[in-house]
Amino acid sequence: MIVLAGPPGAGKSAFCHQAVLQSLSMGKPVIFVTTGSGASEVEKELRERGLGVVESGLLRFVDAYNETVGLSVAARSDTAHAHCEDLSSIGIAISKQSDQIGRKGVLMVFDSLTSPYLLAGSEVLRFMKVTLSRFAAEGNSVVVCMDEGCGKEEDLGAMMSIANGIVRMEVEDGLRVLNVVKHPEVEPTRIEIPTDEIWERKVLDFKLIDREIMGRVMGAMQGGAPVRKEVGNYVNVFWPNLAKWSNIVWDPKRYPEMIYDFYVDYCSYAREMITLYPWHMRLLFKLFVPKSFSKVRDMKKASKFLDQELMKGRRYGVMEYLEDVSKTDEHYFRVYESRECCGFEGVGAAMATDLSPMFAGICKGFEREEREWNAIETKCVALGDPYCEVKVVPGEIEELKDSLRKDSSIIGRIHERLMQRVMRFVLDGEPLVERPRLGAGFFMGSEMNCVPMIRERYRMAFRMGGARTGKQFGECLLEAGKEGDEAVRCMVRLLTHCKVGKVRIDKTIRIIENCESYWTTVYAERWEEPCCFFTTGFLNGFFSAVKNQHVKETKCIAMGDPYCEWEFR
C-alpha cells in the first residue's frame, strides 16, 4: 500500500491515472475508488489520457461520490456505489468488485481519502488497517491519495505509518516534485517533472449575460424593484460565509488563492458592467471615476463611486478612504461591518477572501492605464482589530500569497464559531450575525454561484462541504434532543431566516428562489445540470444524520425550472 500525500493540485490524481493506464496495458485488473467525482467523469479523464478499449471486467469502479452529494446517475454494470461517510459501505463495495474480478494481482486506486476523512474523521485509520491493508495482503496493490493541509498532522502521520510506501508530491516553480520518502524497493529519492498545468482559471463569459435581466439585478442593487419577489434581494450574510468556510476545508491553500485571482479578473470587467447600470449610476461613474488612480485626490474621488457600487448597494460594509495615510500608488480603505468578517472577532487570522481582490479588480477595470492592481487585508476584526483595512497598490505584494492561506487550526476555529452561532440561533433565538448599521442582509449571496463555475474541483468542494456541514448540524441537533420532524423544522427555520429561499417540505423538498442558483438566471443560456451544489450537499448531510435519508436534486431554476426541488431516496 502506497500513500500519495500532497496539497490539492500537486498531481496525485494524474499519477493515479497513469498507474491505471499502465496496469491495464499489462492486462492487470484495476478497481478505481473515487470520492471526488463520479465513475463516468473518471473514465472520461482516463480516455483523454489515452485509455482505449478495455477488456470486459478489467476496470471496475467504486463510486463513493454521487450518493454522498445527492447526484443521480445512470446505472453501470462496472460500478458499485457507496457513501463517503459510511466506510463500511465502501469496504463492501470493494469486496463486491474484487469478487467480480475473481483473481489476485489487482491494483486498487483510492482517489482520495480526503473526503472520507473529513466526513468520518479518525475512523479512516481503522479502515486503512482493516480494509485496505487486508486487500493488499491478499496479493494486491493499493495506491491511496491524501490531501495535506486538510486535517490534523498527527492523523496524516498515522496514515503514513500504516502504509508500506510514501510518496509526497508538491508543485515548485513550474515543476511537479515527487519525493519518495519510503518504499519497499526504491531508495529515498526526488523526481522533478516539468509541467505547465499548475493552475486552471476560467472567468465567466459576460457575452452570455442577458442584459435585460442583469439590468434589473443592478437596479435592484440600488434600491429598485426586488429581483426575488417571494423573499427579497438580501440573504443573511451567515449563509454565504457558512458555504465558503465549509468548502475551503477541501483545499485550504489553493482555494483562497483561486478566489483572489478569480475576483480580480471578475471585477476587472466592471467598466463593461457599468453599461447595465441605471442612468444615475452611469452618471456617477462619469463624474467620479478618474482616468488614473495613482494620486490620492483621484482615488478619493473614485472612492465615492466604489462606496456606492461595492459597499452600499450590496451592503458589503461601511467604507472609508484613508486620505491621511494613503500616498501615490498606495491606498488604504477602512471597512466597518464587513459581511465576511462580522461574527468572527478574534479568530486569529484575516478573514476576508473576496474584499481585497474586489478592490484590486475594480481598480484594474476602471483605470485607463491598464495596470495590474493587487490588494491585501492589513487589519481585520478577526485579528482583534476594531475594523478591517485593505491596502491597494499597482504591482505585486510580496506577502499576499502567505496572507491568503489558512492552516487547519484556524479553519477548525472558524467552523467551531459557525456551528456555535447556528446552534445558539436554533436553540436560544440568538442572532446569527449582528451588524448595527447594515443589518444581516447581503445582496443575493451571488458569490455562491461564481466560484463553482470555475472548475469541477470546486463544485465537488461545495457539494462535499455542504454534506459535511449538514451532517454536523444534524448531529448537533440530535445531541440537543431535537430529533426527527422537530430537527427538520429547525433546519427549515434556519434556511428561512437566512432567506436562502422559500422552503417547503412534504413528499419532496422545494425551494423557491434559492439564492445559490438564482444568480445563474442572468445568463441567456440555461445550465445543463442543477447548480445548487452547496444546498444539495447540505440537505444530504442533514437528512443522512437525522433520518438516514438521502436526496437528489431533480429540478433547478438554473435549468429553467420554476423552482429547485429535491426527491428523497
Query: Using only C-alpha atoms, what is the Rg of the chain?
Result: 25
Q: What is the pLDDT of residue 202?
A: 34
The C-alpha atoms of residue 51 and residue 45 are separated, in whole angstroms, by: 9
What one-character DSSP code corresponds to residue 398?
Answer: T
- What b/e sequence results for 97-131 when a residue is b if at least 16 CB atoms lie within 10 Å of its CB, and e otherwise? bbeebeeeebbbbbbbbbbbbbbbeeebeebbeeb
Q: Which pLDDT band holds residue 454 (cuts at 50, 70, 90)?
A: low
CATH class, 253-405 region: alpha beta
Strand, helix or coil for residue 166: strand
Asked whether the predicted pLDDT for residue 481 surpasses 90, the reply is yes
Q: What is the pLDDT of residue 198?
A: 36
Lowest mean pLDDT among 119-133, 218-232, 357-371: 218-232
Q: Which pLDDT band holds residue 204 (cuts at 50, 70, 90)?
A: low
Are 273 and 204 a contacting pair, CB within 8 Å? no
The C-alpha atoms of residue 2 and residue 144 are separated, in whole angstroms, by: 6
Asked whether the predicted pLDDT for residue 199 surpasses 50, the reply is no
pTM of the complete model beyond 0.75: yes
The C-alpha atoms of residue 142 and residue 58 are separated, in whole angstroms, by: 16
Give per-residue pLDDT as tens, 506-547.
999 999 999 988 777 776 667 778 889 999 999 999 998 999
Q: Grid coordinates in use for 274? A: 457599468
At position 11, the amino acid (one-letter code) is: G
Are 92 and 82 a contacting pair, CB within 8 Å? yes
Average pLDDT of the chain is 87
For the ranges 75-84, 209-218, 265-274, the maximum mean pLDDT occurs at 75-84
Among 3.40.50.10860, 3.40.50.720, 3.40.50.300, 1.10.10.10, name the CATH number for the domain at 2-194. 3.40.50.300
CA neighbor of 14 nearest in space, from 183, 241, 178? 178
Lowest mean pLDDT among 171-175, 327-331, 384-388: 171-175
Asked whether the predicted pLDDT for residue 294 surpasses 90, the reply is yes
Scan for cell 520518502, then name that residue.
181
For residue 542, give Cα distances in angstroms to 337, 468, 478, 515.
30, 9, 11, 19
Asked whether the predicted pLDDT for residue 310 surpasses 70, the reply is no
Q: What is the arithmetic mean of pLDDT over 431-454?
A: 80
The C-alpha atoms of residue 342 and residue 265 are separated, in whole angstroms, by: 26
Return the H-helix or E-strand segment holding 263: helix 254-267
Percent of the chain at pLDDT exceeding 70: 91
End-to-end CA distance of the chain: 35
Instruction: State the SS3 of 444-458.
Output: CCCHHHHHHHCCHHH
CA neighbor of 450 nearest in space, from 205, 97, 224? 205
Q: Which pLDDT band holds residue 469 (cuts at 50, 70, 90)?
A: very high
Q: What is the pLDDT of residue 172?
A: 79
Give backbone dihedrals phi and psi of 41, rounded to 5 degrees, phi first.
Answer: -65, -40
CA neighbor of 359 nearest in space, from 413, 409, 317? 317
Asked whether the predicted pLDDT for residue 108 surpasses 60, the reply is yes
Domain range annotation of the chain? 2-194, 253-405
Cβ-proximal residues to 216 (8 Å cutoff; 6+ apart), any chain: 224, 225, 227
- What angle separates helix 533-546 from helix 238-247, to the nearest 10 degrees? 80
> What does the DSSP assignment read for 170-220?
EEETTEEEEEEEE-SSS-SEEEEEE-S-S-------GGGB-HHHHHHHHHH
Are 20 and 106 a contacting pair, CB within 8 Å? no
Q: What is the arithmetic mean of pLDDT over 174-201?
A: 75
Asked whether the predicted pLDDT for residue 560 surpasses 50, the reply is yes
Lowest mean pLDDT among 116-125, 355-364, 454-463, 494-503: 454-463
CA neighbor of 422 nearest in space, from 470, 464, 389? 470
Q: What is the arithmetic mean of pLDDT over 9-13?
A: 85
Q: What is the arithmetic mean of pLDDT over 37-64?
A: 90
For residue 267, give Cα distances in angstroms to 252, 297, 543.
23, 23, 37
Strand, helix or coil for residue 526: coil
Scan for cell 461520490, then name that residue.
65
Q: What is the pLDDT of residue 133?
A: 94
The C-alpha atoms of residue 370 and residue 377 are separated, in whole angstroms, by: 23
Lowest mean pLDDT among 133-137, 148-152, 443-447, 556-560: 443-447
Are 161 and 128 a contacting pair, CB within 8 Å? no
